[in-house]
Amino acid sequence: MTITDPEVTTATPEQLIKNLTTVTADQIAAHLDYLGIKGDPECAEPCAIAEYILQLSGAEYVSVCTRTAHIRMTGERYPTKYHLPLNVQAFIALFDAGEYPDLKLERVRPVIKPL
């Protein structure tokens, strides 16, 4: 299994993180774009890496910070902490800085009418 394998539909969080260790931040972005995964920059839970892990691992909860991911699988009481490789940290920093706008989750703001 590799990051570019189109047949990958599910994997463990460990496998998904390990698969990202040998690629660049730009390759991670291209892969997420190919998969249609988007995220919200500077937010831990809807981060693009969190969405990637959530969608492909079947995790119940994923929160990604700049250096770590906290992942709770179905049936587990507490999340497990994973340290992210430097290249994934680089992707997160670039994504948070607006480097990959195509991966940004578009949020629709509600229209608030005056009373």
Predicted confidence pLDDT, tens digits, the chain (115 residues): 345 454 556 789 999 999 999 999 999 999 999 999 999 987 878 889 999 999 999 899 999 998 999 999 999 999 999 999 999 999 999 999 999 999 998 765 566 777 6
Give this prediction's pTM: 0.82
Angle at 28 between CA 56 and CA 99, to 5 degrees: 125
Domain holding 21, by residue range, is 13-101
Give a yes or no: residue 111 inside a domain.
no
Give a yes or no: residue 8 inside a domain.
no
Number of domains in the chain: 1
Q: What is the pLDDT of residue 1?
A: 39
Q: What is the pLDDT of residue 2?
A: 47
Residue located via tokens 């969190």: 50
Q: What is the pLDDT of residue 52?
A: 94
Give a yes or no: residue 24 inside a domain.
yes
Sheet strands (E) in the chain: 61-64, 68-72, 80-83
Give a yes or no: residue 47 inside a domain.
yes
For residue 6, give the DSSP letter. T
Q: What are the start-end ranges of the H helices in 11-63?
A: 13-19, 25-35, 48-57
Give a yes or no: residue 69 inside a domain.
yes
Q: What is the pLDDT of residue 107?
A: 66
Give a yes or no: residue 49 inside a domain.
yes
Give a yes or no: residue 106 inside a domain.
no
Distance between CA atoms of 22 and 89, rounded to whole angstroms?
Answer: 13
Give a yes or no: residue 55 inside a domain.
yes
